Amino acid sequence: MTICADLRTVDFAPSTFDAVVSLYTFDHVPRAEHRELLGRAHRWLRPGGWFLLSIEDADEPGQTVEWLGVDMHFSMFDAATTRRLVTDAGFLIERTAVETQLERATEIPYTWVLARKPER
């Protein structure tokens, strides 16, 4: 089944999923909404469920710029703040790293977090 919906408004019943994966998504949501989104992802997971997050590692309150020919919104926190928000949402971080990738000849650091919802 495929669901196409806005991350900021979609909702699911508690304990619906074994895993939630968010790759390069939170970067495009105002960072003021990250705490709530992480809490919702936590609620959607069954106990012991996994959460994988990637997000650019930068202190960017929000800007809209042209990217690949369209206006794109960018908003994110630094890696330490992102990790704190993940744990504040109730997740246990199993692994985390900041890795860079090349975008248009520029190295961009991304925070990667693999976390899990504690068993009951």
Q: Report the CATH number that the domain containing residue 96 is assigned in CATH.
A: 3.40.50.150
Sign of CA dihedral 78, 82, 83, 88: positive
Predicted pLDDT at 110: 97
Predicted pLDDT at 68: 87
Kindly report the pTM of this predicted structure. 0.93
Round the CA-based radius of gyration of the chain to a whole number and report it.
15
Q: Is residue 92 part of a domain?
A: yes
Say if strands 17-23 and 106-116 run parallel, antiparallel, or are unpaired. unpaired
**Structural domain containing residue 98:** 17-116
Sign of CA dihedral 52, 58, 98, 23: positive
Predicted pLDDT at 3: 86
Q: Is residue 5 part of a domain?
A: no
Kindly list the averaged pLDDT for each block of 10 residues, start to end, along the chain of length 120: 88 96 95 97 98 97 93 96 98 97 92 96
- One DSSP character per residue, 55-106 reads EE-S-EEEEEEEETTEEEEEEE--HHHHHHHHHHTTPEEEEEEEEEEEETTE
Q: Is residue 75 part of a domain?
A: yes
Q: What whole-number distance in Å separates Cα of residue 67 and Cα of residue 27?
A: 13
The total number of structural domains that make up the chain? 1
Q: What whole-number distance in Å separates Cα of residue 32 and Cα of residue 98?
A: 22
Predicted pLDDT at 103: 85
